[in-house]
Each structure stands twice: as C-alpha cells, then as structure tokens.
Structure 1
C-alpha cells in the first residue's frame, strides 16, 4: 500500500472518530439530572417562606428558582403575567425544557393560570401545598371587609368559592399534579367559617382538584406546611415518581 493511501486512510479514520465523539451524549452532572423547579410562595408571604423547601430540593439535585412576587398588590392575572412568568423566563430561558413547580397556597392558582392561558412554559410535575383549588369560604364571608383587602390585596378577594371565582373558572389539572394539605388549624376564628376539616385557611375538600394524580393529608397547619420535613420528602418523591410514598 502506498504511503499516500495509508495517510488518507488514517485521516478518514480520525474524521470518523471525531464525528462519533461529537454525537455521543455529554456526561450529565448529577445535580442537573434531577430537573428544574420553580417555587411559588403563598398570599402575603415572600420567597423566604420557601427557603427550607429550596434547600432540600437543591440537596436532591434540582436546579431551583425561588420566585418572589408582590402577592398583595395585584390581581392574580397581573401577578402571573407581569411578575411570575418573566422571572421564570429569566431562570430558565429555554422554552422547551420541562419545569416542575412546587407551590404554597396562592402559588398553586398561579400555576393553573399559566396552564389555562397556554403560556409558552413547559409545565412538568406540580406539587401544590395547601392550595385553595376550589376557593375558601373564609373569603366568601370576609372578602368585602376593608381590613381583609388591606391584608390580602386584590388577589385575596379572588379566592372565594362562588362559581365565578377564579379558582372555579380555571378548570381541571392539565399537568401531573400532587396535592398535599393539612388538617391542623392555628386560626380557630377562620376555621369556624369553613365547613368540614380544614388547615385554618382552606378546607381539605377545597384543596382538591379534578385531574390530580395523588393526594396526601398531613398533620400540619396552612402557614407552616412547606417547612415540614415529611412534606418536603414527599414533594421530592412526587417530582421524581409522579406519586406520593404511602
């Protein structure tokens, strides 16, 4: 075989090796493989209230975006469009990637608002903690009070149980959903306004949503559920598997 032919063959083989290497999948770093998660806090709270959940999700390998939004200043539609969606897009610029959500209270309604409007956000699995998915009777009874609006803002007034209230208008879940809610109350005054077992803000039944994959009841009160170790471990289990560990 001529030297020129050997040289040509070597060049071809080297080129083939380079092509094969370029088409091999890159090594996936373990902390990226778990996925992307957006945290949405509840009404009259801040992102700090989700810090403990953020820490546990990060330990489990998730890339976490803990969003702060002015929940008391605007209606739910405005909070979604003007604050939450832009922050999601800052954290995860690629519209094709799947984004999981972990929400507390009002945060769950914002995810439903995103889904109902078919926003260009690829919603993965969602865990809602103490969500008012069917509204709260406390809002029905107190929503017209000036003090109520001063504390909870216009978004709070939207969380009633009437048929035209926003939670009832958004429809069933169109994504993989797990709901965790509590059966303990530290607000006995509000609990007297809510029929049936409740967590101090929302009845157990009103936390449920048609289309959800799983439901879990825990011995927690509405304001503290996201900081509970069991709730955090069950949240991670659902994000990984699509169901709670029973």
Structure 2
C-alpha cells in the first residue's frame, strides 16, 4: 500500500516553494502532494476543511497519510489532527514551526491593524501556538539555528533561532522527537539533511538512524545535526 505525504507551506508562501522538498521526498519512495492555500486571505476553518477532505481522499488507497508542514504549515497540521472526524494513520513532521507561539508574530501585533493584514486569520494560532501535544499522531520537529531572516529584525528572539523562529519556540511538550540543524528558516525547505530526517521520522517515528531508513540524499553532512 502507498504512503502518501502532504506538504504544507508557511506564511506568505505558496506551493511552488516546496518543489525541492517535494522532489527529495519522492526520491525516498513516498507519494507526495503539495497542499496550496492562501495563508492570509483564507479562513483557518476553510483551510482545515480542505486539508481534512484531502487526507480522507488519499486514505482510500494508502496505508498512511503523513503531513509535513513548514512554519505555519506545521501548526495547521497539528490543528487539523485535533479536529473531530476520522482521519487516516500517519505521522507529522514540523519544520521550524513555532508550536509554542511566535515572538516574531507577537512583534507584528504591535502594528495594530497592520498585523491583521500581515498575519490574516491564523494570527492567534501563530502568536499562541499550543500548550502541549496529546493528539493521536506522533510528531517530530526539525528546527533551524542559522539566524538569518526578517523575524530577527522585527522582533527580539531569545536564544538560538533560524532568523524567524527560536529553537525554544519549537520544543512543544509531547513531541515524539526533536532535532536541530544548521540552516535558516527558509533553508529548511532546501536542506538535504532536513529531507533525509523527515523521511526517516515518517517511516520509523524517530530521527535516529534505524533499519529501513534511507542512508543519504545528495550530500548531507551528519555533523550538522544535533538531537534536542
């Protein structure tokens, strides 16, 4: 049976930004789909309803339907799995998602109505995140620590960060695994290391090397990854 993977982009992005990650996940043997949505204009309810329906349709010919979300996409992946209604089996990998809430998003809030224009209907989810994860799916997080990005200019981000999201903002209680890579927030989508670890977690529920995990994708320096 097929293992499907749905990729979700982040705020102010569209599906084409996922092209490199899409290709690398196909190379690992997954059936990959890009979920495109209007991150600011669409309501959260509409986005989640479409995603829920997509998951159910893919489940008809698969053993699992995994979700991989970058930034806001990871928050939406967790949110849809909290919603009522039967969903297929699968795991979730979040890439630089501020699951504990985003200092950068709260920084935008000081702009008043301007923040509503920038963050749209997902503003509250971005600002507050989740208290913990107790959902049925195993969730893995890959965080970046190369501090290059607009968020660091617009808000004070404490500790290690990827230029937009602090590593501590990704450490949600209840995660199955967590790792940190030497890349920026946007760079998470282009890193061969990230693609490798994503596929490994989807198959075995851990970022650690294990039986059946692909050994390499392109050139991924193992020294650039640390577990958290």
TM-score, reference length from structure 1:
0.75
2:47 alignment partner in structure 1: 79
Take 1:144 and 1:55, find their aligned partners in 2: how far apart are those partners? 39
Equivalences for residues 137-152 of structure 1 within 5 A: 137-145=103-111, 146-152=113-119
Q: Deviations over 1:87-119 (max 9, x none)?
A: 3344x1529842111110111111111111133
| Residue 174 (structure 1) aligned to one of 123, 126, 136 | 136
1:221 alignment partner in structure 2: 184
Equivalent residue of 2:130, what SS? helix
> Given the superposition, is the C-alpha separation of residues 172 and 197 from structure 1 closer, same or farther in structure 2, using an over 3 Å criterion?
farther
1:129 alignment partner in structure 2: 95
Cα-Cα RMSD: 2.2
Q: Give the number of the structure whose alpha-carbon radius of gyration is greater.
A: 1
2:222 alignment partner in structure 1: none
The answer (yes or no) to whether the contact 2:133–2:175 under 8 Å persists in 1 is no
Q: Gaps (5+ residues) in structure 2?
A: 210-228
Larger fraction in helix = 1
Take 2:146 and 2:71, find their aligned partners in 1: how far apart are those partners? 15
Cα offset, 1:194, TM superposition: 1.6
1:236 alignment partner in structure 2: 199
> Given the superposition, is the C-alpha separation of residues 158 and 113 from structure 1 closer, same or farther in structure 2, using an over 3 Å criterion?
closer
Q: Does residue 1:66 correspond to 2:34, yes or no?
A: yes
1:57 alignment partner in structure 2: 25
The answer (yes or no) to whether the contact 1:127–1:179 under 8 Å persists in 2 is yes
The answer (yes or no) to whether the contact 1:136–1:194 under 8 Å persists in 2 is no
2:7 alignment partner in structure 1: 39
The answer (yes or no) to whether the contact 1:40–1:67 under 8 Å persists in 2 is yes
1:153 alignment partner in structure 2: 120
> Given the superposition, is the C-alpha separation of residues 116 and 54 from structure 1 closer, same or farther in structure 2, using an over 3 Å criterion?
same
The answer (yes or no) to whether the contact 1:116–1:170 under 8 Å persists in 2 is no
Take 1:159 and 1:40, find their aligned partners in 2: how far apart are those partners? 15
Count of aligned positions: 206
TM-score, reference length from structure 2:
0.81
The answer (yes or no) to whether the contact 2:131–2:172 under 8 Å persists in 1 is no
Cα offset, 1:43, TM superposition: 1.0
List, as ranges, runs of 4+ consecutive aligned residues in structure 1 with deviation greater than 4 Å.
none
